[in-house]
């Protein structure tokens, strides 16, 4: 019963416009998921099956979750979100049943996306000596194979550790699109700042290009933290502050340092 309560079907309210940059990823997802859902006849005419599942990989905080939600919002899909490690901790001894329930729930909520965040916790390579993990993976694969085209259930998964994912997961008919969601490039960083700035009173002395240059290697989440810390620095100085200045951003950039390493 507790497992069911946790499994909430959401209708997210994240739009493509809320995600800065990452144009390639957005386009590929529209092509893979939106197009076939909205134009099934076109795919039939071409004699190809639309993808069943998508894996996004890349460093933490670079909008994988946000992107999965936007895909649901923009394609009119219900959204069921599961964090890999949750399936082991919350549903101890019951992980396989929880997975079957998730898919049953997705079918009844179709068209729907099942989002597996931190997939590496679930789909870890077999034979690593963990019997429970092996059974969970087997159940996950069986359930994915059981999804029929007409079920309109799409699996979207995310991981920071693509090297840990069992290869069986990535066969055609299971996860057949793999997308890299990298650290934001300059254009993406600029867009993320612009999105944050929409809601913040930014002083005239703030130079966007300077911030873009100073945030090389920052994730999207870290850029959001920089903006938040800058606003807090302004309030720290004066609770009646009306704007966030270049100096506040300088303080924030000292506080928030990028955590992603080169490899
Ligand atoms: P994790 O691997 O840690 O789960 P993730 O890749 O799923 O991370 P999100 O949870 O989507 O990352 O992003 C974290 C937060 O960072 C978002 O809620 C958002 O505030 C901000 N963010 C990251 N990338 C972007 C972006 N491209 N545009 C706007 N905001 C972003």
pLDDT in tens, 163-202: 888 888 888 778 888 999 999 999 999 999 999 999 999 9
**ipTM for the complex?**
0.94
Q: Per-residue pLDDT averaged across 127-147, rounded?
A: 81
pLDDT score at 3: 46
CB of 84 shorter than 6 A to ligand 1: no
CB 200 within 8 A of CB 185: no
Tell me the pLDDT of the chain averaged across its residues.
89
pLDDT score at 50: 81
pLDDT higher than 90, residue 138: no
Predicted TM-score (pTM) of this structure: 0.89
Top-confidence residue, 247 or 86: 247
CB 33 within 8 A of CB 54: yes
pLDDT score at 128: 64
Distance 62 CA to ligand 1 centre (A): 5
CB 78 within 8 A of CB 72: yes
Task: Please tell me the least confidently modeled range out of 90-94, 99-103, 107-111.
Answer: 90-94
Q: Which atom of ligand 1 is nearest to the CA of 22?
A: 27
Per DSSP, the three-state class of 8 is: coil
E strands of the chain, at which residues? 9-10, 53-57, 78-83, 112-117, 153-159, 177-180
pLDDT higher than 50, residue 161: yes
pLDDT higher than 90, residue 13: yes
Q: What is the 3-state secondary structure (H, E, C) of 38-80?
A: HCHHHHHHHCCCCCCEEEEECCCCCCHHHHHHHHHHHHCCEEE
Q: Per-residue pLDDT averaged across 16-32, rounded?
A: 91
CB atoms within 10 A of CB 39: 12
Distance 63 CA to ligand 1 centre (A): 3
Q: Per-residue pLDDT averaged across 57-68, rounded?
A: 95
> Residue 57: beta bridge partners?
159, 180
CB of 228 shorter than 6 A to ligand 1: no
């Amino acid at each position: 019963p507790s497992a069911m309560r946790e499994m909430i079907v959401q209708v997210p309210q994240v739009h493509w416009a809320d995600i800065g940059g990452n144009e390639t990823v957005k386009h590929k997802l529209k092509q893979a998921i939106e197009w076939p859902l909205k134009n099934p006849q076109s795919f039939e005419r071409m004699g190809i099956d639309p993808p069943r599942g998508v894996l996004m990989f890349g460093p933490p905080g670079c909008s994988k979750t946000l992107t999965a939600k936007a895909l649901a919002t923009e394609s009119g899909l219900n959204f069921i979100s599961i964090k890999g490690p949750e399936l082991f901790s919350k549903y101890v001894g019951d992980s396989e049943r929880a997975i079957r329930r998730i898919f049953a729930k997705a079918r009844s909520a179709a068209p729907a996306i099942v989002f597996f965040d931190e997939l590496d916790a679930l789909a870890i390579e077999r034979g690593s000596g963990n019997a429970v993990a092996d059974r969970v993976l087997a159940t996950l694969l069986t359930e994915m194979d059981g999804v029929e085209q007409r079920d309109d259930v799409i699996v979207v998964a995310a991981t920071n550790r693509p090297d840990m994912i069992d290869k069986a997961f990535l066969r055609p008919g299971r996860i057949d699109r793999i997308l890299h969601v990298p650290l934001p490039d300059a254009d993406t960083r600029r867009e993320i700042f612009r999105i944050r700035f929409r809601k913040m009173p930014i002083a005239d002395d703030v130079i966007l290009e300077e911030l873009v240059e100073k945030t090389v290697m920052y994730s999207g989440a870290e850029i959001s933290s920089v903006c938040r810390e800058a606003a807090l620095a302004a309030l720290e100085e004066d609770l009646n502050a009306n704007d966030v200045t270049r100096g506040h951003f300088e303080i924030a950039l000292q506080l928030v340092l990028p955590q992603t390493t080169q490899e």
